[in-house]
Amino acid sequence: MQATLSRSISFTGVGLHGGKPARMAIRPAPPGAGVWFCRVDVSDRDQMIPARFDAVSDTRLCTVLSNGAGVGVSTVEHVMAALAGCGVDNALIDIDGPEIPIMDGSAQTFVDAIQTAGLAFTAAPRRALRILAPVVAERGDARAELHPADAFSMDFAIAFEDQAIGAQRHALTLEGDAFANELADCRTFTRLAEIEQLRAHGLAQGGSLDNAVVVDGARVLNPGGLRRPDEFVRHKMLDAVGDLALAGGPVIGRYVGVKAGHALTNTLLRALFARPDAWRWEPAAPRLDLPAPVARRFATQRIAAE
């Protein structure tokens, strides 16, 4: 059964790169709608932007989506990860500017709000994307892969010269509450030496120790330190969950990332969908996040868009 939010939820913050105030609302949407962004500040062109892999227009430092009218929205990966990780299939996201608010640099604020609001379910069947054959995307010493598997799982490795990060690897099966419990609180990160360069190019204008982990060699500059010893690789996994959500449904397969980022994961999805022999849509398995009586109670509920 497909799910949407039981009610609208709202957020205010700043854009990480533009540094401008941003207001966002995630609203319920009808079965089969998928996820769409609406630029409510735009009135002279098409406001609607689909959350799809083929609408990705830029992947430098974040994932940017754009429509055919040139209207875009950036830094969508954290909210997309939260929606996917919480099992939301259909949603309309109103945003009053070109960038999603960064909040604390993780997906935790979005997950908390989604869980507080709760989900509403319909009888509409849910579909999943099953990986049938290995697909690989490579760039230098970085690569991203999708392999057949019985569930959505992820194996990610990173390596940085900074001693505070170093080499990290983590593997996880992403079923039930695994995203919320294991990845959602892990924040974006940067190196101190990169910040001035980013700001010179008009980026990271809204960045601070309140919404990013900053490292300098062996030091983590945030007063509270890390939330997890391997927060860095877990944040990369969070990003990958959000970027894979642009496939349009839950994935049944194993994702392997080695030094992968937004660009490579999007390249991987494009390579996957270019190979009809490597995937198929199929009915999704019963949800693991609902007790059977609750699932039955909501099975006939019909959700109308606000």
pLDDT digits over 170-209, tens only?
Answer: 999 999 999 999 999 999 999 988 887 777 767 667 778 9
- Among residues 67, 75, 64, 78, the alpha carbon closest in space to that of 100 is found at 75
* Complete DSSP assignment for 46-67: --EEE--GGGEEE-SSS-EEE-
Asked if residue 63 has pLDDT above 80, the reply is yes
| pTM score, whole prediction | 0.92
Supply the pLDDT for residue 288: 58
**pLDDT tens figures, 235-289:** 999 999 999 999 999 999 999 999 999 999 999 999 999 999 999 999 998 875 5
Supply the pLDDT for residue 195: 81
**pLDDT tens figures, 214-228:** 999 999 999 999 999
Please give the domain boundaries of the chain with CATH numbers for all domains: 3-298 (3.30.1700.10)
Contact 5, 26 (CB under 8 A): yes
Supply the pLDDT for residue 215: 95
Distance CA 65, CA 243 (A): 11
Asked if residue 146 has pLDDT above 90, the reply is yes
> In the predicted model, what is the mean pLDDT of residues 99-127?
97
**pLDDT tens figures, 1-13:** 999 999 999 999 9
Supply the pLDDT for residue 285: 86
Which residue has better confidence, 146 or 201?
146
pLDDT averaged over every residue in the chain: 92
Supply the pLDDT for residue 124: 95
Provide the percentage of residues in the chain whose pLDDT is more than 70: 92
Asked if residue 290 has pLDDT above 80, the reply is no
Length of the chain: 306
Supply the pLDDT for residue 296: 37
Q: How many angstroms separate the Cα of 223 from the Cα of each of 119, 209, 215? A: 36, 8, 11
Supply the pLDDT for residue 289: 53
Is 147 a known active-site residue? Answer: no
Asked if residue 23 has pLDDT above 90, the reply is yes
Query: Where residue 294 falls among pLDDT bands split at 50, 70, 90?
Result: very low
* The one catalytic residue among 17, 78, 170, 262: 262
Supply the pLDDT for residue 299: 37
Dihedral of the alpha carbons of 113, 119, 125, 127, in degrees to the nearest 10: 20
